[in-house]
Structure 1
């Protein structure tokens, strides 16, 4: 007797959720390669502890000489990680569509929805590139910005080491155009041969090249325009803590204070944009451990747009010079800005740039939180977590038009914990 075919079972929300997370697992490298170490501090059911945790930064101390001690109070510092992003994708399925086999259903419905949702999460996460406080540029003999070379990336790597960033977890995320130009510029330069073959065959940077654990290309790498500032304004010598009064995270959130400063200046000619990198003459980097000067300019990221004529610049990291008796905890520079010190843009003014980034995984963090499982007034609800990303799907009946709608939801927060552990390697658009 011939067996009757078995009808497809109805695809439920738990199946949709698991499939969506599996698709996401293979669609975005950058989202997967930022720290998730603080996610477990949020309650796993609706984030019952609230929407904020304060991430403590490592304490900093100064070594004293001789047998006599002068006890100093430990000043602990922290940065809030706020769960303030909520994104969803709405869909509508008929019962017939839910009886398709899972592969058909996934390809037709889930994959496009997840692509849109994860793309937005990645785009939000990539706004962290506007908070990176370091930049390495490749300029020609006329001062024009050109594509990064192997030396540019090596200098970026050296800068991370100078900032005491861990060596074992460095990642590079590149705009696809920069990735293509980087591969073309480095093709054939490396051994072993397998690495060269992979670059040539795949047409993109691979792993374990130039001391970078993973090279990733991402269409959400931000493109920004450097301000028109002419680099002729000077500091007055005055600076203090900066409080951005609730500025959105796309510039810098209030979590930056007190880890940032506002520099008083002569009136600037031209604009500065959030994310621009500047230097101040005579204000140099230090080794953050022993506080010795490195005798190279400290770079600062501008935290908010500054109009032409402005007389103050909010910036990060905070300007913390040595005290009257020498080094101090959390010191960032070898000297305070002097009056009439020149303030200079690192990238050429008016440049439209791709903000490619070399970073330590521990510089940034992402946390997704379990949304509540709803069991009343809905048809079906599913929730699952994979690779630290929590996703909920919910189907509900709409009596006004006799349809069933499904939504995919994610609740998350992002934060830049160590802006100096990120280096922007810009490329001119055009």
Structure 2
């Protein structure tokens, strides 16, 4: 039955806006989402408990694991909105007409902002595959990502890949002749990759490009001194006096290998670290803030390296200095968190707020009349916070 023209009220608009927001999300649909039914202000923090980690002991006698009950705080730092003006006559349109003209594109703008912010959390992730400067286009590069995730002990269920348009279409072209006719037809006619190599692949134009620091010219970066377990920064030298590193730069340290998180055995692959803060050298020295924290201990369930760095071990950075590369992401949903809360309603205004706890989203709509311009002004608002929960459940696929 066709919709009849009735005066649209704020609840109808808010419900439609929430539905369109949910439908417009790309990466945000595939991360851990939490809806907190409490009113907070921008800048408030919410605590999220993280899953525990254990390691088996090969002995008859019982050996307790020290349970750390890890948690993290997420700052509700972003209030995003879209606003537009229209005539009161537009409120007599059907919700389908009004949505097509206003709500759907407005919700898409909000969704793109959330997706862009989430894609930007690549800066927290060190594990990397792909060749910087080469667009991913083969089944093998997806396999490299899966090998990395397997070595890291990432759960094999619900792994997701978020690709920029170049990678999405290059993979579509590279894989179109690889699969059965029905799968190949979907790739050729729609560019739909679906689940390939145990990855649910999605295209997102909000994938972010990372510009590497100026870390090569005249530099031979080395560790400088001993590093203790628990270190979140390293002391280095061998810089030229004009070098920089940027948050998101990835590097390895000679002789420091990653370990299987379940067994603690070395994977034989150098451990990758990510720079967490921009920095520049002082003459030849530089202290670099890093993630993950270096944890070493044969019986420590959180141990993540095969050995502590030697005092003069060499550092090798990924990519070419001062060059930008797309950062596609392969991850388990628990890697990243998106938390939304309801926004308080102003007093005595035309408006409504709708929340979907299952989708982990909340949106507010308010309207006010502009007497000077003789038009109605509507705005849609969302309040959210994002954070990387487990950087070891994600892999960067460089393009």
Whether TM-score is above 0.5 comes out as yes
Residues 57 and 63 in structure 2, CA contact (< 8 A), matched pair in contact too: no
Alpha carbons of structure 1 residues 281 and 18: separation in structure 2 relative to 1, 3 Å: same
CA shift digits 1:258-300 (9 cap, x unpaired): 7x71011114343221111110001101111221112210011
Q: Distance in 2 between matches of 1:379 and 1:146?
A: 52
What SS is found at the alignment partner of 1:116? Answer: helix
Residues 31 and 333 in structure 2, CA contact (< 8 A), matched pair in contact too: yes
Deviation (angstroms), 1:178: 1.5
Q: Distance in 1 between matches of 2:109 and 2:291?
A: 33
Q: Is 2:196 aligned against 1:209?
A: yes
Q: Distance in 2 between matches of 1:399 and 1:316?
A: 54
Residues 47 and 71 in structure 2, CA contact (< 8 A), matched pair in contact too: no
Partner of 1:255: none
Match of 2:236 among 265, 270, 280: 265
Deviation (angstroms), 1:197: 1.0
What SS is found at the alignment partner of 2:306? Answer: coil
Deviation (angstroms), 1:387: 2.4
Alpha carbons of structure 1 residues 32 and 280: separation in structure 2 relative to 1, 3 Å: same
What SS is found at the alignment partner of 2:24? Answer: coil
Deviation (angstroms), 1:401: 5.5
What SS is found at the alignment partner of 2:252? Answer: strand
User: 1:43-62 residue pairs with structure 2 within 5 A?
Assistant: 44-47=37-40, 51-61=45-55
**Comparing 304-313 and 79-88, the one that deviates more:** 304-313
Deviation (angstroms), 1:51: 2.9
Deviation (angstroms), 1:56: 2.9
Partner of 1:244: none
Residues 233 and 267 in structure 1, CA contact (< 8 A), matched pair in contact too: yes
Match of 1:179 among 158, 168, 172: 168
Any unmatched runs of 5+ in structure 1? Answer: 1-5, 140-144, 242-257
User: 1:14-413 residue pairs with structure 2 within 5 A?
Assistant: 14-36=11-33, 39-40=34-35, 42=36, 44-47=37-40, 51-61=45-55, 63=57, 65=59, 67=61, 73-138=66-131, 145-148=133-136, 149-190=138-179, 192-202=180-190, 204-212=191-199, 214-230=200-216, 232-239=220-227, 261-269=232-240, 270-309=243-282, 310-322=285-297, 326-374=298-346, 376-385=347-356, 387-398=359-370, 403-413=375-385
User: 1:3-18 residue pairs with structure 2 within 5 A?
Assistant: 8-18=5-15
Partner of 1:253: none
Deviation (angstroms), 1:63: 2.5
Q: Distance in 2 between matches of 1:261 and 1:57?
A: 21
Any unmatched runs of 5+ in structure 2? Answer: none
Residues 25 and 111 in structure 2, CA contact (< 8 A), matched pair in contact too: yes
What SS is found at the alignment partner of 2:294? Answer: coil
Q: Distance in 1 between matches of 2:189 and 2:265?
A: 46
Residues 340 and 360 in structure 2, CA contact (< 8 A), matched pair in contact too: yes
What SS is found at the alignment partner of 2:392? Answer: helix
CA shift digits 1:51-104 (9 cap, x unpaired): 31142341445636464x676754343222222211111222322111122222
Q: Distance in 1 between matches of 2:178 and 2:221?
A: 43
Q: CA RMSD in A?
A: 2.5
**Comparing 411-420 and 304-313, the one that deviates more:** 304-313
Alpha carbons of structure 1 residues 221 and 7: separation in structure 2 relative to 1, 3 Å: closer
Residues 377 and 396 in structure 1, CA contact (< 8 A), matched pair in contact too: no
Q: Distance in 1 between matches of 2:108 and 2:333?
A: 23
Deviating above 3 A after TM superposition, structure 1's stretches of 4 or more consecutive aligned residues are 59-62, 64-67, 69-76, 237-241, 397-404
Q: Distance in 2 between matches of 1:62 and 1:223?
A: 40
Using the size of structure 1 for normalisation, the TM-score is 0.83
Q: Distance in 1 between matches of 2:71 and 2:360?
A: 23
